[in-house]
Structure formats: C-alpha cells, structure tokens
Copies of this chain bind each other. A is one copy, B any other.
Amino acid sequence: MNNFELYNPTKIIFGKGEIAKLKNEIPKDASVLLLFGGGSIKKNGVYEQVASALEGHKWQEFGGIPPNPEYHVLLKALEIIKKEKITYLLAVGGGSVIDGTKFLSSAALYEGEEPWDILAKRIRTEVGMPFGTVLTLPATGSEMNSGAVVTNDKTEEKVGMGGPGLFPQFSILDPSVVTSIPERQIANGLADSFTHVLEQYMTYPVDALLQDRLSESVLSSIIETAPRIMEDTSDYKSAANFMWNCTMALNGLIQKGVPTDWAIHMMGHELTAFYGIDHARTLAILTKNHYTYNLKSKQAKLAQCAERVFGITEGDEKEKAEACIEAIEEFYLSLGISTTLSSYTDNFEGTAQKIAKRFTERGWTAIGEHGKLTPHDVEHIVEMSY
C-alpha cells in the first residue's frame, strides 16, 4: 500500500425531501448566486424547492451553464459575482454546473489578471469562495470532490483544475430528481461512474486489500443497479443506489494508497473537445483498446476483476484478463453506448495523430500508472478506437 492523505470535508445530505435543508447550510448573511444549466430544474420542480429553501436569504441567479462548462460563459457569471458582491455560490445541476461553479469559486478570489491562467498554469486552489451544491444528475462525483474540468471553445481545449479549496461545503443528493433525467443521461452516468472506478483500480496490485475490494464493490453495485434504473427511472430505490454509486466512484476514497491511471480520461477529453461527444461515451470508446494495448501491465488486476466482479473463473490469468475486457465492453453496450469513434463522427481520420501531437506539445509524454505511456502509445490506442 502506498502512503496517502485523505481529507474530504464535504457534508453530504442524502435522501428524499432533503433539498429544504439547504437553508440551514448557507450563512444567513450570505449574498448567494444560484447557478444552473439549461433550465431543466425549472421543469422538474427542483428550482421551486431551492427557491423556497432560500427564502430569507439574499440571492440571485445565473442560468445557462452549458454541458462541458464553457470558459466564456463562466466569465459572464464571474462579472456578476464581482459586481453584485456575491459571497456564496450554490450550484444546482450536474457535473458541468458544479465544475463551472468550482472554477468561479476559484476565480472569484484569484488575484491574477487572467482567470484562464488558473487552468493554463495549473494553479492549485487553496481557498475558494464557499459554495454548496444540489445534485440533479448523478455521474461525475464532482459533488464530493475538489476537482473540475472546464472547456474553452475558442481553443478547443478541456482542462482540469483542483485544490483543497474546491470541496463543496455541502451537497444535497435527493434521488427523487433522477426520475426526470433522460435515458441517455442515465446511461452516461452509469458509464462515467463505472470508468471512474476503473481508472483508480485497473492498474497493478500493491497489496491494498481493502481498497481493491472497495473498488470492486462500486463496480458490482453499478452493474447491479444499471438494468434496474435503465428500466425505470422513477423507482426511488434504484435511483438512490445509482446516485450513491456515482458519488462514491469519485470522492477520492478508493484511490487512496493505490496507483491510478487516468489515461482514458486524458484521451477522452480530447474527443469531447474535438467532436463534442458526451464525456462518458468518449470513455467507453477508449477503455477496451487502452486495456488491450496495455494488457501485460494490467493483466493481474484485469484477472482479479474478472473473478470478483464478473464471476469469471475459467482460464489462466491472461484468458481471464481478456474475458474481463470483453465483459467491460459488454457493460457499455448494454447501456446502449457505442464504443467506436466512427459511430459518433465521420471525420475521425487523423484524430489519433492530432491527440498525440497535443500531448507532445503539453509535455504529457509519460502518462498512465507507470508513467510510461508516450504520445506514440496514445496514437495507437486512439487509432484502435476508430
């Protein structure tokens, strides 16, 4: 087991009818900016619940944060924050709204000239403007971690940021909201959370007995929950499991003391930046090929996953590992998610080279859990994914 630090001060308030509790979590004297996305919260009843809970608080709103929160849209919110002397942010939405809010939390207190530098220069956020979240779309885990990803449409870039100042003070998770989520988004949430676990687990063994089992627990729960929630999003019990799985998949716990990979995400972000493909689907496109390309170095964990998660007991270690890759692929397909780049865009030729070039330019020349994957390897993996 590797040395690690674990710190996560986000307060989770989970369950039916809990949105009303946000009034106790936001300081009475705060000047609140409520941030949301395309407006689905005005149709599914969440906006009314939040507005009612905010009664007595001073608050205003900023809607229209797009999927893959866009930098230039966020800058408009930043203007309001400064002009209106906002002191507290409240994200009501999914991962994009929460990630956008994290950027704003950081930018609001940033003293430099150009807020994009927070992303470009990878400036860690030690202290941000306090914020809470009301989650409406389980998937990214952003409601209980301190990371965010922001998109710049002009440069076609998707860049990560983070730091201990970016934990939400509280996050309210009411699974009742799941019933209004379109099937496509449910499938995305299942695939996204599933791949989050894989990125923290499918590496090499370090005798971290509990961490391995915790990751396998989340994988198994997602697999068990998937057909239930895909069949009926109005089933509260399935929705609760779906929601808690997604949070636990990326709240930092399962990665403590073990190596992590994240190459799939690094490559996948480029596919979203170039073609606007849903984040979760970019992961599904790349996973099988990444694992096939790196079979040797990931074989022991793939075989362990085959046995413990998929119940595959036949064959030697290599055969089990290969069967695991097939089972992972089948899971994505069972969600109705295509796993080839060509099923999302006709312009796929040259993508592998473009991504490899970007990685080289950024100095991302040694990625993955061993720090050994080069842009050349990345080119191969993306090409396998056409």
Chain B residue contacts of A237, Cβ below 8 A: 1, 207
Chain B residue contacts of A3, Cβ below 8 A: 14-18
Whether A248 sits at the interface, judged by CB under 8 Å, is yes
1/0 per residue A158-181: CB within 8 Å of B?
A: 000000000000000000000000
Whether A2 sits at the interface, judged by CB under 8 Å, is yes
Top 5 A-B pairs, shortest CB-CB distance? A3-B15, A213-B217, A9-B9, A7-B11, A6-B12
Whether A241 sits at the interface, judged by CB under 8 Å, is yes
Interface residues of A in 8-39 (CB under 8 A from B): 8-18
Contact A210–B12 (Cβ < 8 Å):
no
Contact B244–A210 (Cβ < 8 Å):
yes
Contact A241–B208 (Cβ < 8 Å):
yes
Most buried by B among A6, A7, A221, A253: A6
Query: Considering only CB atoms, which chain B residue lies closest to A236 in the complex?
Result: B1
Q: Residue A217 contacts which of B16, B216, B240, B256 (CB distance < 8 angstroms)?
A: B216
A81 to chain B, nearest CB (A): 26
Query: Considering only CB atoms, which chain B residue lies closest to A174 in the complex?
Result: B3
Contact A257–B5 (Cβ < 8 Å):
no
1/0 per residue A32-69: CB within 8 Å of B?
A: 00000000000000000000000000000000000000
Q: How many copies does the complex hold?
A: 2
Interface of A toward B, CB cutoff 8 Å = 1-18, 207-211, 213-214, 216-218, 220-221, 224-225, 237, 240-241, 244-245, 248, 253, 256-257
A24 to chain B, nearest CB (A): 11
Q: How long is the Cα–Cα vector from A6 to B251 in the complex, in angstroms?
A: 12
Contact A241–B1 (Cβ < 8 Å):
yes
Q: How long is the Cα–Cα vector from A208 to B213 in the complex, in angstroms?
A: 17
Q: How long is the Cα–Cα vector from A221 to B217 in the complex, in angstroms?
A: 13
A167 to chain B, nearest CB (A): 10
Given contacts A214-B217, A217-B214, contact A209 B15 (CB under 8 A): no
Q: How long is the Cα–Cα vector from A207 to B240 in the complex, in angstroms?
A: 9
Q: How long is the Cα–Cα vector from A256 to B248 in the complex, in angstroms?
A: 12
Q: How long is the Cα–Cα vector from A224 to B213 in the complex, in angstroms?
A: 12
Query: Considering only CB atoms, which chain B residue lies closest to A248 in the complex?
Result: B210
Contact B245–A210 (Cβ < 8 Å):
yes
Chain B residue contacts of A257, Cβ below 8 A: 14-15, 240, 244
Query: Considering only CB atoms, which chain B residue lies closest to A4 in the complex?
Result: B14
Chain B residue contacts of A15, Cβ below 8 A: 1-4, 257
Given contacts A213-B217, A221-B209, A221-B213, contact A12 B5 (CB under 8 A): yes
Q: How long is the Cα–Cα vector from A213 to B248 in the complex, in angstroms?
A: 12
Query: Considering only CB atoms, which chain B residue lies closest to A235 in the complex?
Result: B207
